Amino acid sequence: MSEEVLILHGWQNRRPEGHWQRWLADRLEAQGWRVRYPQLPEPDAPVLDDWLAALDAELSGTEPARLTVVAHSLGSMLWMAYAARRAEAGADGVVARRIVLVSPAAPDVLRGIPEIAEFAPVQDGDAARRALTASAVERPVIVASDADPYCPEGTDVRYAIPLGVDFVQVPGGGHLTPDDGYGPFPLVYDVVTR
């Protein structure tokens, strides 16, 4: 069986050409990976339960030992919500081999945007760390800029250190979008394929 990747986009994202996620999907598919890159419902006015249902559907039939999840922005928050709900329900067993969260947004920022406020994490500290790490075989990785307007306190301080995950910092990268210069994004490719 080939490696699998599930790519989760963020708020207002319609999987456009030129986005690093599409570039990553194309590159991995050309190398024989099974690629899942769904359009999540209502990206301009997302409903957490609808996105969670779509995520459940995408995970159906995947092989956790071969699956890498790559999520950007609100997609990262979706994964954290999914991990938290699994933990609350007492689910056991990993869902993926590797989790790569790119540019997760700070809870205060999310709460300040009505369309996405419900994506703000409900767990913090040890509960969030346990939920996230329980979802993957390998230690999760966060890739983020040191200048992300959606996480002004710093992603390392807000997420990487408290969650006890690996952290890759991108100097001056903004929110790591095409507008910030991230069409092709070899760094994420390297993290995914290491």
In the prediction, which pLDDT does 140 show?
A: 98
Count of beta carbons in the 10 Å neighbourhood of residue 130: 16
Q: Is the pLDDT assigned to residue 51 strictly greater than 90?
A: yes
Ranges of H-type helices in the chain: 20-30, 48-59, 74-88, 107-111, 125-134, 155, 161-163, 186-193
CA nearest neighbour of 143 among 82, 83, 86, 194: 194
Q: Is the pLDDT assigned to residue 123 strictly greater than 80?
A: no
Q: What is the mean pLDDT of residues 42-50?
A: 97
Q: Is the pLDDT assigned to residue 102 strictly greater than 70?
A: yes
Dihedral of the alpha carbons of 29, 148, 162, 64, in degrees to the nearest 10: -10
CATH architecture of 4-193: 3-Layer(aba) Sandwich (3.40)
Tell me the pLDDT tens digit for each residue of 154-194: 999 999 999 999 999 999 999 999 999 999 999 999 999 99
Band of residue 125 on the pLDDT scale cut at 50, 70, 90: confident
Tell me the pLDDT tens digit for each residue of 4-33: 999 999 999 888 889 999 999 999 999 999
Domains of the chain, residue spans: 4-193
